[in-house]
Chains A and B, each alone.
Chain A
């Protein structure tokens, strides 16, 4: 339940100590929002908002990253040979990650770290990154993590969990990585029974506060085609403007595009986030686009998350219930409503 406590006033000291051994990413205030950034001092951390606007996905899968470099100078014996771009893979800490976002990393492992295929940078980053979570005492009305395999105090995918217990933080150690991290600091003390009681009470009230539910058992009830042909897509797609907001704020949308950019004789091979909402996503070299219509693109996003993923991995849906897409969609499309429509489908 809790292995150590630190006073709230000691948090700055703790982070400063951790900065000696880790590159630390934490929520940082940017006007009205917070987002994960690499920090250089503990006082940059801002834990006052329920969650960051962007998920911490980019820390593991940067929106744009150079994979290889090459030169096209034909006189060189290195011409057109890809050289892997060096990356800083020194130990990192994501401080204050919410349980839903940590769960998202586990779902992305299913894609980037498989028996057959291992994305070398994803795997390396996962290995060298420690996740120090922050339990949610006050979830949002858009949170529905508890119905998709996570929860406000869920420890899944985390190395440590911090729990705000009033004047102090209770710390739960969950993995060896977490233990090693805490061993680097000598801050904090033993957990009193009173603290344990506060933690239990907060956990209970937080679970109760999540009133938003989705249901998923119906997603396996029919074959893909039944959902694909669902008559609800047409109405659902009307409002969609096919921007990339939902896919970019989503912690589990992993699609990317690979592009070469060349200037004179020097080139780089980049991996960029892509979005199934974009017309270029499936544009063929021939000029044909199998998903030329808005309906097809919107359907793809939800089918991938709530059907293809479910069938392929048997690990639930590709959604952790963080509610970012619900909050940020410019036209108020609500994935919980899509859950309902798909789950309740009658054929």
Chain B
């Protein structure tokens, strides 16, 4: 239930290409600062990251040949694994609505829609927003999705309850930085956590340092996150790090009416200045 990103340099390598509901890795993560011309397969979220990377000068549009892959939502391998409850999985078969799990003496059929990654279940941009060709007819976009139910629940907490919520959320973190490294928008030449002169952040698993890492990373993604879910999927400890980035996504949407990476004509609001930017929150 995993895919493995590859860079193909010869036509015969194309045999390795594979598509199923576990091709969730956001391939845009491999682009920043590459110099050659590249063809890339892009789901809706991947394509939005391409837009942002072009806007932030990480890659040029003319370097890219974007093959749009209409996406039905990717499946969460951990949710599927939980269903196995320790039983060994030997194979997976997919049909349009179902996922069939095969193992020694069992075959379970799961309703696909119940095992979507959380970000995919609330995705409203499943088709590539820019592309040079499309591999299939566009899929219907989900409508009437409430993207921020969980964020509102956290907002409604008292400050102290919210704090303990975040403390608990981030307590399992082992500081492996998989969330950061999996993020197609985390391309700073040196991340603030890796700076050593001066060193901004402790290297232990001190909870304050760990929270500082996560909070600052999330802020740095304000208006730049497409909710592709690469961070959460990479986390070995299953921490719901999107709880942080989604709050900032919601704020940017409310303040600036901006959704990240939908158009090459619109830079993320915090990358630019406009005289009519909202400022009532500045005190």
Q: Assess whether B90 is in contact with A32, with CB atoms less than 8 Å apart.
A: no
Q: Is A81 an interface residue (CB 8 A)?
A: no
Q: Is B182 an interface residue (CB 8 A)?
A: yes
Docked CA distance A269–B234 (Å): 31
**Residues of A within 8 Å of B, CB-based: how many?**
40
Contacting residues of chain B (173-229) with chain A, CB-CB under 8 angstroms? 174-178, 180-182, 190, 194, 196, 202-206
Chain B residue at minimal CB-CB distance from A325: B236
Q: Is A238 an interface residue (CB 8 A)?
A: yes
Q: Is B48 an interface residue (CB 8 A)?
A: no
B243 to chain A, nearest CB (A): 15
Tell whether A54 pairs with B204 under 8 Å between CB atoms, given A32-B78, A33-B238. Answer: no
Main secondary structure of the interface of A (DSSP, over half): loop
Q: Assess whether A275 is in contact with B29, with CB atoms less than 8 Å apart.
A: no
Docked CA distance A235–B174 (Å): 28
Q: Assess whether B6 is in contact with A239, with CB atoms less than 8 Å apart.
A: yes
Total A-B contacts with CB atoms under 8 angstroms apart: 99
Q: Is A344 an interface residue (CB 8 A)?
A: no
Partner-binding segment picked from A177-185, A243-251, A298-306: A243-251
Chain A 320-339 near chain B by CB (<8 Å), digits 1 or 0: 00000000101111000000
Q: Is A40 an interface residue (CB 8 A)?
A: no
A109 to chain B, nearest CB (A): 24
Chain B residues whose C-beta falls within 8 Å of the C-beta of A63 in the assembled complex: 174-175, 204-205
Chain A residues whose C-beta falls within 8 Å of the C-beta of B203 in the assembled complex: 64, 257, 259, 270, 272
Docked CA distance A248–B173 (Å): 11
A58 to chain B, nearest CB (A): 9
Q: Assess whether B236 is in contact with A328, with CB atoms less than 8 Å apart.
A: yes
Docked CA distance A63–B82 (Å): 27
Q: Is A280 an interface residue (CB 8 A)?
A: yes
- Indicate which residue in B5, B177, B206, B237 contacts A244 across the interface (CB closer than 8 Å): B177
Q: Assess whether A283 is in contact with B174, with CB atoms less than 8 Å apart.
A: no
Q: Assess whether A138 is in contact with B190, with CB atoms less than 8 Å apart.
A: no
Contacting residues of chain B (6-35) with chain A, CB-CB under 8 angstroms? 6-7, 25, 29-30
Partner-binding segment picked from A45-53, A110-118, A163-171: A45-53
Q: Is A84 an interface residue (CB 8 A)?
A: no
Chain B residues whose C-beta falls within 8 Å of the C-beta of A119 in the assembled complex: none
Tell whether A241 pairs with B178 under 8 Å between CB atoms, given A64-B206, A249-B236, A283-B196. Answer: yes
Chain A residues whose C-beta falls within 8 Å of the C-beta of B175 in the assembled complex: 63, 244
Q: Is A242 an interface residue (CB 8 A)?
A: yes
Docked CA distance A91–B230 (Å): 42
Chain B residues whose C-beta falls within 8 Å of the C-beta of A330 in the assembled complex: 25, 178, 182, 230, 233-234
4 additional A-B pairs beyond A138-B86, A247-B176, A275-B176, beta carbons within 8 Å, are: A141-B90, A241-B182, A245-B234, A257-B203
Q: List 28 A-B contacts (CB under 8 A).
A: A32-B81, A33-B237, A33-B238, A63-B205, A64-B203, A138-B88, A141-B88, A141-B90, A235-B7, A238-B5, A238-B30, A239-B5, A239-B6, A241-B29, A241-B181, A243-B182, A244-B174, A244-B175, A244-B176, A245-B234, A259-B203, A272-B203, A278-B194, A328-B236, A330-B178, A330-B182, A330-B230, A333-B4
**Top 10 A-B residue pairs of the complex, sorted by shortest distance between their CB atoms:** A330-B234, A64-B204, A244-B176, A243-B178, A332-B4, A243-B181, A241-B181, A332-B2, A239-B5, A328-B236
